[in-house]
């Protein structure tokens, strides 16, 4: 078991909206992603999803409002709640969610990506 340095991990890739697994514990994944622009509306029927902003600013649109997250801020989207992340400029995020969580829930989108592990 090695320690995980977030900055080193973020420097290993450039692509947007493509979460990378950086850790696993108790059947949950720790992931990081670089995001820019608009994602798709989706929900995860059975999984709560934690977003933490590491750099930049992320807006999470909800059907009844929106949350703006800056560096050092966290939001937990409860299971079943539709959300659409958006970042006007590139933003770096950390995600914490169950291993079985699907990227865009049951929505099939051009943005839907298979999960890969970042070694």
According to CB under 8 A, which one of 37, 63, 76, 88 is a site residue for a second copy? 76
Between strands 116-117 and 20-25, the pairing is: parallel
Q: Is 78 in the site for a second copy (CB under 8 A)?
A: yes
Q: Is 26 in the site for a second copy (CB under 8 A)?
A: yes
Least spacing, CB of residue 72 vs a second copy, in Å: 5
Nearest alpha-carbon partner for 37 in 116, 91, 98, 107:
91
Q: Is 43 in the site for a second copy (CB under 8 A)?
A: no
9 sits in which H/E element: helix 6-10
Q: How far apart, in Å, are the Cα atoms of 109 and each of 84, 102, 112?
A: 13, 12, 5
User: Which of 111/115 has CB closer to a second copy?
Assistant: 115
Tokens matching residue 110 = 């051009």
According to CB under 8 A, which one of 23, 38, 59, 109 is a site residue for a second copy? 23
| CA dist., res. 48 & res. 95, Å (int) | 11
Q: Is 24 in the site for a second copy (CB under 8 A)?
A: yes
Binding site for a second copy (CB under 8 A): 1, 3-7, 22-26, 28, 30, 47-50, 54, 67-69, 72-78, 96-98
């Amino acid at each position: 078991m090695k320690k995980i340095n977030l900055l080193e991990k973020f420097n290993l890739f450039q692509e947007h909206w493509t979460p990378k697994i950086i850790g696993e514990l108790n059947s949950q994944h720790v992931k990081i992603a670089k995001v820019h622009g608009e994602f798709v509306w989706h929900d995860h029927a059975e999984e709560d999803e934690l977003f933490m902003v590491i750099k930049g600013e992320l807006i999470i649109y909800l059907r009844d409002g929106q949350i703006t997250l800056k560096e050092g801020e966290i939001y937990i989207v409860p299971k079943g709640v539709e959300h659409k992340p958006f970042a006007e400029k590139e933003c770096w995020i950390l995600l914490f969610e169950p291993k079985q969580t699907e990227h865009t829930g049951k929505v099939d989108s051009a943005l839907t990506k298979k999960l890969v592990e970042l070694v």
